[in-house]
Amino acid sequence: MARILTGIQSTGVPHLGNLLGAIIPAINLSKDSDNECLFFIADMHSFTTVRDPRVLKNNTYATAAAWLSFGFDTDRNIFYRQSDITEVCELAWYLNCFTPYPMLANSHSFKDKSDRLASVNAGLFTYPVLMAADILLYDAQIVPVGKDQSQHLEITRDLANAFNYIYKDTFTIPEIDLDKKSMIVTGTDGQKMSKSYNNDINIFLPEKLLKKQIMSIKTDSIPLSDSKNPETCNVFKIYKLIANENQLNQMKSNYINGNYGYGHAKNELLELILTKYKKQRVEFVRLMKNKNLIDEKLKLGSTKARSIAESVLQRVRSNIGY
Ligand code: ADP
Ligand code: TRP
């Protein structure tokens, strides 16, 4: 049985890129009965930048509702809110006292964020230490992450090894599971889809608003009657990731045969999203209207997570000499 852990920052409603690139693959991993999965909402990491309490709270609900609507089984696995298990802050402190300053100063993600943001706080600087605490607090064995997080995982492994060198057998050293296939979903402007580029498709929106997002996908100006190249078209690039083989072949020939405009393709993409994700869209809205249901699931997860966290933290305290 492998213990798999990963965190998801709650920075808004998860978009199609988050779903196809991270959430659905992680849920698939959790279906293997050989795995025990701990997935949590990293709302303390979100606090490095979010300052509006309602936004912070609502982002957590929207993120949780997305996972739940795609069928994440919270009875068989552990799904929790990072801020519910404050033991992580105690462990982060012990790890802070083990972290060489240059290790954090050289972090790519810190350099990138501190270049972009007007105000840079110490939480942003020690972000990787909290992340290490997230992982080590649960004796995680495997941590699936995207390429952008691999340096944070190296920091976690370095800290755990340095700690174990002095305080023997304290931490389980986690393995990185780098998502090599890492599907990149294109946004409405043709760049990588991201909340920060304002080019995302939110499949949970009411139909009218979803249509507006899909209609805003950038296309070229080849006339309706002409043949078009599906592979270079932003609409087709998105359609391709969710359509089945028949639907795909049909759209391909429509593009090539001509007399098929981008408006037609966009309408088909909209229809496909509405039918393929019909159940999830309904469930997302139901959960967002009944946040107590989300709270119940997260509470159950926190109880399970806390029992692991307490025993690991006890081991750390005792090894340190407290
Ligand atoms: P965003 O860029 O929208 O802020 P995050 O950086 O919070 O997204 O990413 C959360 C997860 O979703 C990560 O695992 C990331 O790899 C995945 N992800 C984000 N955008 C995409 C995309 N366009 N295509 C595929 N996966 C994505
Ligand atoms: N930093 C991760 C991200 O931005 C989220 C995260 C926080 C995480 N703690 C973690 C991921 C622990 C894996 C393990 O995507």
pLDDT in tens, 24-72: 989 999 999 999 999 999 999 999 999 999 999 999 999 999 999 999 9
Residues 170 and 55 both lie in one domain: yes
> Based on the domain organization, do 88 and 227 belong to the same domain?
no
Percent of the chain with pLDDT over 90: 89
Average pLDDT over residues 145-168: 94
**How far is it, in rounded angstroms, from Cα 37 to Cα 78?**
6
Asked if pLDDT for residue 149 goes beyond 80, the answer is: yes
pLDDT for the residue numbered 30 = 95
Quote the pTM value.
0.94
Region of 223 on the Ramachandran plot (φ > 0 left; ψ -120 to 50 alpha; else beta):
beta
User: Given this model, what pLDDT does residue 180 score?
Assistant: 64
pLDDT averaged over the chain? 95
Q: Based on the domain organization, do 270 and 299 belong to the same domain?
A: no
3-state secondary structure of 41: strand
Domain count, the chain: 2
Over 90: is that where the pLDDT of 113 sits?
Answer: no
pLDDT at residue 148, as a whole number: 82
pLDDT computed for residue 190 by the predictor: 96
Whole-angstrom Cα distance, residue 144 to residue 26?
8
Q: What is the best residue among 9, 11, 16, 18 to mutate for testing ligand 1's pocket, by most ligand atoms within 8 Å of CB?
A: 18
Q: For the CA atoms of the chain, what is the radius of gyration?
A: 22
Centre of ligand 2 to C-alpha 140, Å, is 13
Q: What is the CATH number of the domain that holds 227?
A: 1.10.240.10
Ligand 1 proximal residues by C-beta, below 6 Å: 9, 11, 17-18, 21-22, 146, 183-185, 192-196
172 has pLDDT over 70: yes
Provide the strand spans (E) within the chain: 2-8, 35-41, 78-81, 142-145, 175-178
Residue 182: predicted pLDDT: 63
Average pLDDT rounded to a whole number, residues 133-138: 98
Q: In terms of residue numbers, what domain contains 89?
A: 2-185+291-320
To which residue do tokens 């509405």 refer?
Answer: 274
Rounded Cα distance between 82 and 41, Å, is 6
Q: What is the pLDDT of residue 298?
A: 98
From the list 1, 32, 26, 4, the residue with the least C-alpha distance to 175 is 4
Q: Using one digit for the tens of pLDDT, what is the confidence trace for 177-227?
A: 887 666 789 999 999 999 889 999 999 999 999 999 999 999 999 999 999
Closest ligand, as measured to the CA of 143: 2
Based on the fold, state whether residues 114 and 52 are members of the same structural domain: yes
- Ligand 2 mean position, distance from CA 177 (Å): 13
CATH number for the domain spanning 7: value is: 3.40.50.620
Task: Tell me the C-alpha distance between 259 and 256, whole Å.
Answer: 9
**Cα–Cα distance for residue pair 177/77, rounded to 1 Å:** 19
3-state secondary structure of 238: helix
Contact 81, 62 (CB under 8 A): no
Residue nearest to atom 14 of ligand 1 (CA): 22
